Structure 1
Amino acid sequence: MTRAESTFQSVFGYAPAITGRAPGRVNLLGEHTDYQGGFVLPAAIPQQATVSIGKNGGHAHRLHSANLHQTLTVEVGEVGTGFAPYLTGSVALCGVHEALDIWVWSDVPSGGLSSSAALELATLRAIRELYRLPLDDVQLALIGQKVEHEYVGVMCGVMDQMASSLADTEHMLFLDTRSLERRRLPLPSGTQNKAAQILVLDSGVPRRLAGSGYNERRAQVEEASRLLGVTQLRDVHDVSQLSVLPELLRRRARHVVSENARVLEALTADAARFGELMNASHASLQGDYQVSHPQVDVLVALLQARPQVYGARMTGAGFGGAVVALVQEGQAAQVAAEVLAQYGTGGRMVVP
């Protein structure tokens, strides 16, 4: 999908007042740690959500998805269904109480690449510009997270919204999700001191976070924190401290604690070691956290078996969706073609 078949003007009959855009993201390391105050390493992807807005002077929002070819009408102050909560939640939390026409289109694939955060941030950027709101990029990210919590029903951490708001496609964004301190870092160096390259493949397995085990996993690690007497698992630095937990909670907590350690080690790792950390992360997500999917595991294994691949893992919350690999510079397209030919129908290359 390269362009929308409709425009704001073709749907609503007038030109929009403002248009906002925001990218999806891929997470290289640091999965299911952000809601425990942990460390993450995302990067933006080229695909973006685009949101155009105008004031309609009525009593209801008119919301059009060019992807779904669908228009929803939602009274001001109501939430709505389908894709509406991402938009109405963003409008409400910005303190806007007048009826808007909103046109949305996105080429961010759903499933593991933060299509929802991109939609929220594109909407919030447009609203900030339209109403000249004194909100910085971090504040927009925090509002986007609140939209997920209060309007969508997913108790996500802040990584996705921070990445969509602050990351670029040329660097990793190292983010401390507790303090929100961050810095951009180059991709790890590969052979002959050349930069490595990111490859993202869509497994073709759809998922829905609100209906998956995402909120259940969050509740489990919160219970583990409570039993350990810490505010968050971020405060646990040795997996031996987890021995007092029941087996299931011990496995869930072990993933979070070990994943934080992997991110911190990755900050100074070369591509070969970074890839090993990615492989270990996938094994932890598959075994201890149990958020992978059999087809995703097949795709990851095919990538890990290629000599041009330093490492590969699922990316995003899991239960389907995308995988990410770190590959030798200039080899991503060839690796993707070979792996997808083995994988069969359903998979496709997203980045590069």
Structure 2
Amino acid sequence: VRCDAGFTGVISGFPGGLEGGGISSSAALTVALIHAFRDANNLTSFIRREDVVRLAQRVEHEWRGVRCGILDQGCVVMSKPGALTVLDCAEYQRRFAKADDPTTSTSRGTSATLRRSGSDDTDEETSAQNPLRWFGGDWTPSRHGPSRIDPNVDESGREVSKDFWDDGPDAGSDLPFAVVLAFSGIRKPLTRTGYNDRVDECQRAARLLLDASGRGVPRDVTPLLHMVTRDEWTAARDAMETTSAEILPANLARRARHFFEENQRVANGVRAWRDGDVASFGALVNASGASSVENYECGCEQITALWKIAKNAAGVFGARFSGAGFRGCVVALCEPGRAAMDAAESIAGEYARLYPDLAADAPVIVTRPGRGAFILRNEDQ
């Protein structure tokens, strides 16, 4: 594609103190630049959203040396305000659980309302205007993640209205939780962490599991864990646990465990979100954080300590690392309003007590989910 038109760019509006904080800023900047070039050269009908995701990933691979997937870029491009964005990184598919009209039913035909507690059968409605609707039918894990779907049609086969993609008002403020973002003060490029090593380890685990299943892959094919079926993983895991079979080295077994259990947490998290069970959703977020530490073995002393502080703070539903987890931030879902401010203050104070040298460069902010990348024109301001 030849781009004849250029532009003058200004980077502004970044929250103070979070530069290089591991909150997908490189993905956001790259996506913004691609959007700007695409718009300036009238290529919006030629370069689709999915293309923007792949191009931004290519920048990370070829120019930054980070062998990332599409999670960051996909969220930056695809996210909708007030919605849960579900990405299938193997099939390049996305789905949404979206805030909608209170009379709207879910795909299972039952009304869904957001509640803060999963301890009883009573739905405590925290926002009469914010039940959830599930676009695209039920999501269930399969060999390659979710089944192939057309994200532009609903469960009845009707095309989703174009308004679904249009930039509407920010509904994130209606959700029954706030987002607390806590920065550890640790900054370093992912190329100087174990991030790329984890990619290699997952590929080695995939090859060994496929060999053990009798479905080995040619040496010129990159083995990926999504190529391994859940049944094949379960059989290998059980054999290693009950017979001490040496199918995988211990560290590779932990990487595979994180992959398969994390995919199951995603499926369970979608159901909890769709059912309005924020407490169960938060518990899954906590479990994801624990697996990141124990099985994927990312993080460092300071950010792991920050995660433990955040998940145990009063009013917090759940917390985990933001991004790769080797440095940067912890993100927590918290009771909204005053409770979120109190949680942020508590997290900041406890972290400063443990790491006073980092406290001045470790802000904790309260925010909310927003929309994905979009073009803001002068007439829109």
Aligned AA (1:257)? F
Residue 301 of structure 1 corresponds to which residue in structure 2? 308
* 1:95 CA displacement: 4.0
The verdict on how the C-alpha distance between 1:95 and 1:240 changes in structure 2, with shifts beyond 3 A counting, is farther
Q: Structure 2: any 5+ residue segments left out of the alignment?
A: 100-113, 118-123, 127-175, 216-222, 241-246, 353-358, 368-381
The answer as to 2:184 corresponding to 1:208 is no
Mapping for residues 210-225 of structure 1, pairs under 5 Å: 210-225=191-206
Q: How far apart are the structure 1 equivalents of 2:252 and 2:48?
A: 38
The answer as to 2:322 corresponding to 1:326 is no
Deviation larger for 226-235 or 288-297:
226-235
Aligned AA (1:263)? V
The answer as to 2:277 corresponding to 1:250 is no
The answer as to 2:51 corresponding to 1:139 is yes
Q: How far apart are the structure 2 equivalents of 1:299 and 1:101?
A: 39
The verdict on how the C-alpha distance between 1:97 and 1:290 changes in structure 2, with shifts beyond 3 A counting, is farther
Aligned AA (1:225)? A
Asked whether the equivalents of residues 314 and 343 of structure 2 are also in contact (C-alpha less than 8 Å), the reply is no
Mapping for residues 80-95 of structure 1, pairs under 5 Å: 95=2
Percentage of matched positions with identical amino acids:
32
The verdict on how the C-alpha distance between 1:97 and 1:253 changes in structure 2, with shifts beyond 3 A counting, is farther
Q: How far apart are the structure 2 equivalents of 1:205 and 1:239?
A: 37
Per the normalisation by structure 2, the TM-score is 0.63
* 1:104 CA displacement: 3.6
Q: Structure 1: any 5+ residue segments left out of the alignment?
A: 1-93
Aligned AA (1:120)? T
The answer as to 2:125 corresponding to 1:193 is yes
Larger CA Rg, structure 1 vs 2: 2
Asked whether the equivalents of residues 54 and 70 of structure 2 are also in contact (C-alpha less than 8 Å), the reply is yes
Provide, for residues 128-156 of structure 1, a one-character-per-residue CA deviation record: whole Å limited to 9, x for no partner: 01111221211111111111111211111
Q: How far apart are the structure 1 equivalents of 2:181 and 2:348?
A: 12
Q: How far apart are the structure 2 equivalents of 1:186 and 1:349?
A: 28
Q: How far apart are the structure 2 equivalents of 1:111 and 1:140?
A: 23
Residue 312 of structure 1 corresponds to which residue in structure 2? 319
1:112 equivalent among 2, 7, 22 = 22
The verdict on how the C-alpha distance between 1:186 and 1:348 changes in structure 2, with shifts beyond 3 A counting, is farther
Q: How far apart are the structure 2 equivalents of 1:239 and 1:274?
A: 25
Asked whether the equivalents of residues 266 and 277 of structure 1 are also in contact (C-alpha less than 8 Å), the reply is yes
Higher strand share: 1
The verdict on how the C-alpha distance between 1:101 and 1:311 changes in structure 2, with shifts beyond 3 A counting, is closer
Q: Secondary structure at the match of 1:138?
A: helix
1:267 equivalent among 243, 266, 270 = 270
Q: How far apart are the structure 2 equivalents of 1:182 and 1:197?
A: 24
Asked whether the equivalents of residues 7 and 40 of structure 2 are also in contact (C-alpha less than 8 Å), the reply is no
Q: How far apart are the structure 2 equivalents of 1:182 and 1:347?
A: 33
Residue 138 of structure 2 corresponds to which residue in structure 1? none
1:349 equivalent among 351, 359, 364 = 364
The verdict on how the C-alpha distance between 1:207 and 1:236 changes in structure 2, with shifts beyond 3 A counting, is farther
* 1:122 CA displacement: 0.7
Residue 73 of structure 2 corresponds to which residue in structure 1? 161
Q: How far apart are the structure 1 equivalents of 2:347 and 2:341?
A: 10
1:335 equivalent among 343, 351, 359 = 343
The verdict on how the C-alpha distance between 1:106 and 1:145 changes in structure 2, with shifts beyond 3 A counting, is farther
Q: How far apart are the structure 1 equivalents of 2:311 and 2:8?
A: 46
Per the normalisation by structure 1, the TM-score is 0.68
Q: How far apart are the structure 2 equivalents of 1:162 and 1:202?
A: 23
Q: How far apart are the structure 1 equivalents of 2:312 and 2:53?
A: 37
Provide, for residues 290-319 of structure 1, a one-character-per-residue CA deviation record: whole Å limited to 9, x for no partner: 111211122221222223111111121011
Aligned AA (1:349)? V
Asked whether the equivalents of residues 6 and 40 of structure 2 are also in contact (C-alpha less than 8 Å), the reply is no
Q: How far apart are the structure 2 equivalents of 1:98 and 1:174?
A: 34
* 1:171 CA displacement: 2.1
User: How many residue pairs end up in the alignment?
Assistant: 259
